[in-house]
Chain A
Amino acid sequence: MNGPTRIALVSHARRGIDRITGTAQLLYPEGVLELSETADAVVTRLDGTRTINVLIDELAAEYEADREIIRPDVDALLADLDDRGLLKVSGETQ
């Protein structure tokens, strides 16, 4: 998941809005993951057009934060999503 790889959500995961709480949720088979505002900012960018570095650059600009402060949170979220089988690298079929 590092280097120049472009990453995306798998086709069986998609973002939804919880009507009760108004928060963003990642929906997938038999699973729901509530997304914090920053997690949501990551998930909405997982469309296969960005590398992790580009994604972090964008978040750093949007939140006016240091890249090195953002990076551990992004890495942790992506590792969690990868464990759940919800990430693919660009070019994979799933």
Chain B
Amino acid sequence: MTPRPYGLLAELTHRCPLHCPYCSNPLELARREEEMPVTVWSRVLREAAALGVLQVGFSGGEPLLYPGLSDLVRTAREEGLYSNLITSAVGLTPDRARDLAACGLDTIQISFQAEEAGLADDIAGARTHASKLAGARTATEAGLPLGINIVLHRRNIDQLADLIRFAESLGAVRLELANVQFYGWAFQNRSALLPTLAQVQTADAIALQEGHRLRGRMQIAYVLPDYYERRPKPCLHGWGMRALTVDPRGDVLPCQAARAIPELTFANVQSASLEDIWRDSEAFNRFRGTEWLPEPCATCEFREIDFGGCRCQAALLTGDAARTDPVCEFSPDRPLVDAILGMPDPDPAWVYRG
């Protein structure tokens, strides 16, 4: 039986005022004239809700640059979807924030790069920190519950304790501290972004301690850098099992990074229903379940826990998306990851997202 999805990530636009060196959008961005109209997105939301989706994240790029955002938030609420705006907050005016709240937006998640403006702007490749701070206060004043996410990497992970206090000071109800994952632009900049083992160990201890201190007040979601782990992450709780992403052109992806797998083609919501794509498309069925698993996964006791790990990571590191995630200690390709960890770049420089 085909599973039902719980979460939809709606990437409304790839346009963005920031140029982060770990940008998770694909190397080739959708152009403005390729973006879908509100009418099509509204249908996507209705079809998603009918399929069982309970939560929608409006993302990008910068979703505030999409003109029909408020209409889509209203549609999401009408369909009973819990909505989250995943934004840089650049350009979030008081009027816009009040409008989004009035349309039924449930939460807003604002990205920050660092606490200190100089470093934050250096990471974003744009002078945006002051605008983000103003946006966070604007959101709170409009009554929008505030989440904050900060991507961690070599240049900011040593400030973890400060970052947590910063999120507290802004009144965040949730703080996502995800170590950078190496796909897309971040894969290109890996040697500049990868933290050292010593950095990771210090950060892990702080995250654990602060998580206890803030329990019940501010939820901390800390994501380890998986190159340093012994077991792979359970990618999306299984490929095509719980989540789907629709990109600005309407292509439907099992995962927002799935373009890392060159052999996959993606069906588009402008020529098929979301349900047909979810159930029947080649991209969603390629790695669904456990039957496709290679060894050592196929006979591994953890196969229902991590589903062989991340397909995109397998593709990027081994050239074959159907191999075991090389992060896994049981993978014959683990030496690839160890070799990367054993070659720290003494003078890292990164290339900004164009």
> Chain A residues in contact with chain B, CB under 8 A?
10-12, 14, 16-20, 25, 27-30, 32, 82-85, 87, 94
Contact = CB atoms under 8 A, between A and B. Distances in A.
B217 A19 contact: no
B171 A94 contact: yes
B221 interface: yes
B173 A29 contact: yes
A65 to B, nearest CB: 29
Contacts of B176: 30
B143 A19 contact: no
Contacts of B52: 18-20
Contact of A27 (B106, B173, B215, B221): B106
Nearest first, the 3 closest Cβ-Cβ pairs linking A and B are A12-B145, A27-B82, A20-B52
Contact of A29 (B50, B107, B143, B216): B107
Contact of B221 (A11, A17, A20, A30): A30
Contact of A85 (B106, B171, B173): B173
Contacts of B59: none
Given A12-B107, A32-B6, A85-B216, 11 more contacts: A10-B145, A12-B106, A16-B54, A16-B80, A19-B49, A20-B52, A25-B54, A29-B84, A29-B107, A32-B54, A85-B217
A27 B145 contact: no
Contacts of B147: 29
A10 B82 contact: no
* Contact-size category for B: 20 to 34
Interface in B199-231: 215-219, 221
A41 to B, nearest CB: 20
Contacts of B216: 82-85, 87
Nearest to B172: A94
14 contacts: A11-B145, A12-B145, A12-B173, A16-B82, A19-B49, A19-B50, A20-B4, A28-B82, A29-B106, A29-B147, A29-B173, A82-B216, A83-B216, A85-B219
A87 to B, nearest CB: 8
A85 B217 CA distance: 5
Contacts of A84: 216, 219
